[in-house]
């Protein structure tokens, strides 16, 4: 994600407190003390967002049916989750913010459920054995909302004049569907969105069908994502868009939806989208998904950022060319290869920022080394050195300057240490080795050392984990 200027919408203090508090509450429906071995852990243990997710199961597929009333901002929805139990489960939880749950079934049988904060606790009619694949259906309704950041920006289901701007990093997806909302649990998706006539609903993956209701008053858009996706990358953005389709030189299908208010300013940067996909494919390896594209919306002024929603990054207003480069680089770094925890978000943002530096050099701008030098000249008291990119420390830091800029500086130092040949091999082979999976900083360091045939401990200790401004360069 990229905020203008060079900051991203990230964890908020208010949201962080809410998540931390909900991690400490006890759900009375979960059973007596000592039953946690069969109730599923109400957390996946994220060091920065400990309340997110559930460790008792792994979601394989989400089938979401959404019926949105644009005029009234109301949602009538059904979520069907196919998951595998990682332990014996007498009950389990899903993350869901707001919205009224009207019924839950597990494997076709009615299940008991209760709410506590942003956790929906589900108790099946009978316990689920370890290793069993099970299907959970949740019917829900209400007015989806958003989370407000301390600086006024928002995430989640953000209502707009003509629909909704839907973004989920790091926890906003729970505002519109129940799930295991942690980046380590990736799944495939089918998203069907019914909207009034004249509106378009854009989600991830490929549009399989668009059909009008018999009375012509509404239309349903059916989207399919066949490659695994972290829930924070899902979208179901709704508006009155101009849509165009096409293909890259390599044959990757493109779907671009633009709010008419942003069409003129968007035309030039989006015209370079096929070129950007092709250029990044040469650097980072084969494009990891079956389609690409963009969504350019015209949301409220409180929204001023872009997010790398899988296959179709979403932009709050017309993007510039560099922002398109940044968000498309995330398709490899962040979307295909997703961090195991939010602690390792630099593996998303550092690489995407470094892609900007490479693009600038390719088009007559500063080289990455000159970009590095300009940053390194900043004094020790500058915000760039507030915390190390590999150890943000607090939830509100995950989208701050060091994650982006110093994250890219880590990569330039790596390049200097291993040489261009090995460095550009790493840029291709890292996303290939973990394609459609999860990986963390430890895996990345080991991967680099293996490719370079040398110990890189000093480099990463200083640049990725070291406090303050590092005293040496490589």
Per-residue pLDDT of the chain (474 residues; tens, 9 = 90+): 754 433 343 333 333 334 433 333 333 233 333 334 356 778 899 999 999 999 999 999 999 999 999 999 999 999 999 999 999 999 999 999 999 999 999 999 999 999 999 999 999 999 999 999 999 999 999 999 998 653 456 899 999 999 999 999 999 999 999 999 999 999 999 999 999 999 999 999 999 999 999 999 999 999 999 999 999 999 999 999 999 999 999 999 999 999 999 999 999 999 999 999 999 999 999 999 999 999 999 988 878 899 999 999 999 999 999 999 999 999 999 999 999 999 999 999 999 999 999 999 999 999 999 999 999 999 999 999 999 999 999 988 999 999 999 999 999 999 999 999 999 999 999 999 999 999 999 999 999 999 999 999 999 999 999 999 998 777
Cβ pair 284, 329 in contact under 8 A: yes
Burial class (CB in 10 A: 0-12, 13-18, 19+), 361: middle
Residue 334 has φ and ψ, to the nearest 5°, of 130, -45
Nearest by Cα to 8 from 306, 299, 301, 237: 306
Token representation of residue 207: 């549009």
Scanning 26-150, the segments in alpha helix (DSSP H) are: 36-39
Cβ pair 117, 18 in contact under 8 A: yes
Q: What is the model's pLDDT at position 303?
A: 86
Q: In 10 A of CB 396, how many CB atoms? A: 18
Q: What is the model's pLDDT at position 153?
A: 62
**142 beta partners:** 75
Token representation of residue 246: 């096409």
What does the alpha-carbon distance between residue 135 and residue 80 come to, in Å, rounded to a whole number?
7
Q: What is the model's pLDDT at position 43?
A: 87
Q: What is the model's pLDDT at position 12?
A: 34
């Amino acid at each position: 994600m990229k905020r203008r200027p060079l900051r991203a919408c990230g964890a908020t203090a208010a949201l962080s407190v809410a998540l931390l508090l909900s991690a400490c509450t006890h759900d009375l429906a979960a059973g007596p003390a000592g039953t946690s071995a069969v109730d599923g852990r109400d957390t996946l243990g994220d060091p920065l967002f400990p309340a997110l997710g559930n460790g008792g199961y792994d979601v394989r597929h989400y089938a979401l049916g959404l019926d949105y009333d644009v005029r009234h901002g109301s949602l009538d929805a059904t979520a069907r989750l196919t998951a595998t139990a990682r332990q014996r489960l007498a009950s389990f939880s899903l993350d869901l913010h707001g919205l009224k749950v009207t019924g839950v079934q597990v494997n076709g049988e009615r299940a008991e459920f209760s709410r506590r904060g942003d956790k929906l606790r589900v108790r099946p009619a009978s316990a689920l054995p370890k290793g069993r694949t099970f299907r959970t259906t949740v019917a829900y309704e209400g007015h989806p909302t958003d989370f407000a950041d301390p600086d006024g920006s928002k995430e989640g289901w953000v209502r707009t004049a003509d629909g909704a701007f839907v973004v989920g990093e790091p926890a906003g997806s729970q505002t519109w569907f129940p799930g295991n909302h942690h980046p380590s649990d990736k799944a495939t998706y089918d998203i069907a969105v019914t909207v009034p006539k004249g509106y378009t609903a854009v989600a991830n993956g490929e549009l399989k069908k668009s059909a009008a209701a018999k009375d012509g008053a509404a239309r349903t858009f059916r989207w399919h994502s066949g490659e695994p996706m972290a829930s924070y990358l899902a979208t179901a953005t709704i508006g009155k868009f101009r849509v165009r389709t096409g293909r890259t030189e390599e044959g990757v299908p493109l779907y671009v939806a633009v709010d008419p208010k942003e069409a003129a300013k968007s035309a030039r940067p989006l015209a370079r989208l096929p070129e950007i996909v092709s250029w990044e494919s040469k650097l980072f390896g084969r494009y990891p998904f079956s389609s690409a594209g963009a969504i350019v919306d015209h949301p409220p002024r409180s929204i001023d950022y872009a997010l790398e929603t899988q296959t179709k990054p979403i932009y709050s207003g017309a993007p510039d060319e560099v922002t398109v480069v940044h968000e498309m680089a995330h398709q490899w770094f962040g979307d295909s290869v997703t961090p195991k925890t939010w602690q390792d978000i630099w593996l998303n943002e550092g690489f995407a920022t470094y892609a900007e530096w490479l693009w600038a050099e390719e088009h007559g701008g500063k080289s990455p080394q000159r970009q590095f030098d300009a940053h390194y000249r900043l004094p020790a008291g500058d915000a760039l050195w507030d915390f190390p990119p590999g150890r943000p420390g607090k939830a509100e830091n995950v989208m701050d300057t060091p994650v982006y800029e110093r994250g890219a500086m880590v990569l330039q130092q790596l390049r200097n240490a291993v040489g261009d040949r090995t460095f550009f091999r790493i840029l291709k082979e890292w996303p290939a080795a973990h394609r459609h999976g999860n990986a963390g900083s430890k895996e990345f360091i080991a991967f680099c050392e293996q490719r370079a045939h040398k110990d890189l401990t000093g480099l990463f200790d200083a640049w990725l984990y070291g406090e303050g401004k590092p005293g040496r360069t490589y």
